[in-house]
Structure 1
Amino acid sequence: MQWLAEICVHRPVFATVIVLFFTVVGGFSFFTLGVDRFPKIDLPTISVRTSNPGAAPEEIETEITDVVEAALNTVPGVEEMRSSSSRGSSNVTLTFNLEKDPDVAFQEIQQKLSTIVNRLPDSADPPVAQKADPDSQPVLQYVISAPRNVMELTDAVETLIVERLESADGVGEVFMWGARQPRVQVSINPDRLRAFNLSVTDVTNAVRAQNQELPGGNLVEGRRTFGVRTMSKLTDVSEFNEIVIATRNGFPIKVQDVGRAELIGAEPTSAASLDGVQSVSVGVRKQAGANTIAVINNVKTRMADIVPNLPDDMRVAVIRDQSEFIENSLHAIQEHLILGGLFAALIVFFFLWNFRSTIISALSIPISIIAAFAAIAAFGFSLNQMTMLALTLMVGIVIDDAIVVLENIYRFVEEKGMDPVQAAIEGTREIGLAVLATTLSLLAVFIPVGFMTGIVGRFMSSFGLTAA
């Protein structure tokens, strides 16, 4: 450290520029850092869900779950596979070893699933694979209530709120709980169906065939070509009652002759209420890697423009806001960081009883912390509880070296009568190796923490590397 001390003493402008360089780079890096509650961790867990409405658990297990398990058994890196079969739904969860890249595992599962789609029941939906992602939790959630039909409320919320929130910067997905989409239900009277010698399949095929739009080819007229399409998509519930199922003795048998069609809500799978009033809840998921605080602020700004234009009977309330937890946690750590720096400077002043020496020692704290923001950005970390905790713990360690070196220089000036320039060089030479050894020993402690394996290692890596 002697050569460094000599350079800084003999070339103060050079030393000042180096310090300002790290400070400016760290300052600009600070504004690019994401803010989150915890570090981002990619869990090597993928779930595959397949739906077959109305099927019994036994049928789900034999016709879907066993087929999916047999196909996914050959995916490399699987440590554990769990499955559950319930009424109308099959769920298979795969846990991979930590060395497996979740994105690669997801692609391999998608390829395996594509080979078994034709082997599943015709009434079953295609399997859907989903990675376990901590970012999939909603960062902000609203509940909208109004004294009106839930289907009408669902349509209003989707049109007035959801579609506008989806375009907010950083929003990955907007979804609804407690919503009921409109659905046409055809109720059949089995006695009348039997009287006309028809089956439920006949009704299903008739509704499917007469409620679709198909391309009708092209119409060529001289140099112009027109596209033709069949306009047979039904738009009103009453039109379903007029669908012809079959012809008996020259008379058409319509849906209204064997039953009735009516508009109902889809089968409810979730429910929401606000103060006892049936409601619809809207959740917002952020894009992967997006700044949580920035996304929430963008959504709140957009929502502030939406609320004044809503009908008078609609009431909007926030029921989940992650920014409150994140900001409270980070503000508490920031407060401890500032107080720790101030108390450390007061202790230096108490023992040295010199304002100039205290200021020099205290400056090492903000300079080191601001410069650390550049390293945090370079490693791809965010400002979260782990990185901020590491910075807080390092406040005392950063000022330790400054106190030791400064106190030794101060001793050379006071006891040996050296001029400050020579005292800075000689004082640093005397204890430079010991200070360097102390710093390297701290690196030896914290760097291994940054390379720990397992889920805990992924959680603690940002803490260890930030502290180092």
Structure 2
Amino acid sequence: MKLSDLSIKRPVLAVVMSLLLLVLGIMSFTRLTLRELPAIDPPIVSVSVDYTGASAAVIESRVTQVLEDALAGIEGIDTINARSTNGRASVSIEFNANRDIEAAANDVRDAVSRVADRMPEEARPPEIAKVESDADPIIWFNMSSSVMDTLELSDYADRYVVDRFSSIDGVAQVRIGGRQRYAMRVWLDRDQLAARGLTVNEVETALRNENVELPAGRIESADRDFTLRVERSYVAPADFASIPLGKGNDGYVVRLGDVAKVELASSERRAYFRSNGEPGIGLGIVKTSTANALDVARDTRAEADRIAQTLPKGTQIFVAFDNTTFIEAAVERVYATL
């Protein structure tokens, strides 16, 4: 029996089936995850290693080449692209389309772990990541201030703004563009070092040995227990300037302030973020893979309006880029078509 014959003989059943399909369609239309492009993750795994202070040639010989040799034997590799820059090595491995990305990432982790002991001790541990289609921010907010510099603005956003955005349903990560972190910068004077017979390695060793915070055990009594720790007394630039480096022939204790300038500044002086010519920072919202992009963008916009009311005087937050505009326009055309 054909469907048309069944519908003619049993019209009530046909109406009920039509209404059921209509209800299911409306529910699906309002609840399905919306995104601009299909969720297709390319089979690419990246490995990056930070080695602060090393030149590109040193990075190439001591880090990049070691990683390339270890990764070359993994099954299913299509291409390997390596890049060596000052202070950083990046290796991108693209696998065949039929290769499972999870298994490929595990193979990369195993290969990198086997050569971890061949890396320089000063280098940071390798970071392994998969290229995911949901890893890009869907909306960017800009923060600028006329009373705070970039360091203060980055610290304020990290303390008071990022957590408020992260608590919104559907938000997976909040990225801070142009962030600058506080760091104690030591500017060595080579003439003063040479005059006192000191080397850079001796200064580095003194900083490593002095700038530590160690546990000191416990004190136990019949009624109470106390946990002890050695308080680290180096907080301000003047504290670091007083670190002893050695003793001269005349018995004078050479301190860090005698051979260097110590200041509290940004850890990365070359990180800048400008909007309309004004310095500031950016806040990128990354959604979860199952979240509705329109809902996340709508909720973050509303939260940004509430945050703007609590910002210090002279500080503002506004939308700089919203990728969901195209999704919303496409959904409106679907509504019009229906």
> Once the 2 structures are TM-superposed, how far is the Cα of residue 6 of structure 1 from its aligned partner?
4.1
> Once the 2 structures are TM-superposed, how far is the Cα of residue 303 of structure 1 from its aligned partner?
1.0
Alignment correspondent of 1:17: 16
Identity of counterpart residues, as a percentage? Answer: 29
Residue correspondence of structure 1 range 128-207 to structure 2 within 5 A = 128-147=127-146, 148-207=148-207
- 1:262-297 alpha-carbon deviations (Å, 9 max, x no partner): 112122344222332211112111122321111111
SS of equivalent residue, structure 1 residue 41: coil
- Residue 84 of structure 1 contacts residue 91 of structure 1 at CA under 8 Å; is this kept in 2? yes
- 1:314-370 alpha-carbon deviations (Å, 9 max, x no partner): 1322111012111112223432x23xxxxxxxxxxxxxxxxxxxxxxxxxxxxxxxx
What code does the residue aligned with 1:190 have? R
Q: Aligned residue pairs: how many?
A: 336
- Residue 160 of structure 1 contacts residue 310 of structure 1 at CA under 8 Å; is this kept in 2? no
Residue correspondence of structure 1 range 257-406 to structure 2 within 5 A = 257-335=258-336, 337-338=337-338
User: In 1, Cα distance between the equivalents of 2:247 and 2:222?
Assistant: 41
- 1:370-389 alpha-carbon deviations (Å, 9 max, x no partner): xxxxxxxxxxxxxxxxxxxx
What code does the residue aligned with 2:55 have? A
Alignment correspondent of 2:232: 232
SS of equivalent residue, structure 1 residue 328: helix
Alignment correspondent of 1:244: 244
> Once the 2 structures are TM-superposed, how far is the Cα of residue 243 of structure 1 from its aligned partner?
1.3
- Residue 142 of structure 2 contacts residue 281 of structure 2 at CA under 8 Å; is this kept in 1? yes
- Residue 185 of structure 2 contacts residue 267 of structure 2 at CA under 8 Å; is this kept in 1? no
User: In 2, Cα distance between the equivalents of 1:229 and 1:288?
Assistant: 44
SS of equivalent residue, structure 2 residue 31: coil
Alignment correspondent of 2:94: 95
Alignment correspondent of 1:212: 212
- Residue 233 of structure 2 contacts residue 239 of structure 2 at CA under 8 Å; is this kept in 1? no
Closer, same or farther: CA 156–211 of 1 in aligned 2, 3 Å? same
> Once the 2 structures are TM-superposed, how far is the Cα of residue 129 of structure 1 from its aligned partner?
1.7
SS of equivalent residue, structure 1 residue 129: strand
Alignment correspondent of 1:461: none
User: In 2, Cα distance between the equivalents of 1:233 and 1:64?
Assistant: 36
SS of equivalent residue, structure 2 residue 280: strand
User: In 2, Cα distance between the equivalents of 1:35 and 1:185?
Assistant: 47
Alignment correspondent of 1:409: none
Unaligned runs of 5+ in 2: none
What code does the residue aligned with 1:177 have? G
Alignment correspondent of 2:71: 72
- Residue 178 of structure 1 contacts residue 268 of structure 1 at CA under 8 Å; is this kept in 2? no
What code does the residue aligned with 2:81 have? R
Alignment correspondent of 1:222: 222
259-268 or 41-50, which deviates more: 259-268
Alignment correspondent of 1:56: 55
- Residue 84 of structure 2 contacts residue 90 of structure 2 at CA under 8 Å; is this kept in 1? yes
- 1:63-101 alpha-carbon deviations (Å, 9 max, x no partner): 111100111112211111111222222111111111112
User: In 2, Cα distance between the equivalents of 1:88 and 1:203?
Assistant: 21
SS of equivalent residue, structure 2 residue 134: helix
Closer, same or farther: CA 257–309 of 1 in aligned 2, 3 Å? same
> Once the 2 structures are TM-superposed, how far is the Cα of residue 29 of structure 1 from its aligned partner?
2.6
- TM-score when scaled to structure 1? 0.68
SS of equivalent residue, structure 1 residue 157: helix
Structure number with the higher helix fraction is: 1
Structure number with the higher strand fraction is: 2
Larger Rg: 1
Unaligned runs of 5+ in 1: 339-468
What code does the residue aligned with 2:112 have? L
1:112 is aligned to 2:111: yes
Closer, same or farther: CA 302–282 of 1 in aligned 2, 3 Å? same
User: In 2, Cα distance between the equivalents of 1:26 and 1:274?
Assistant: 43
SS of equivalent residue, structure 1 residue 158: helix
RMSD: 2.0
> Once the 2 structures are TM-superposed, how far is the Cα of residue 181 of structure 1 from its aligned partner?
1.2
User: In 2, Cα distance between the equivalents of 1:268 and 1:48?
Assistant: 25
Alignment correspondent of 2:28: 29
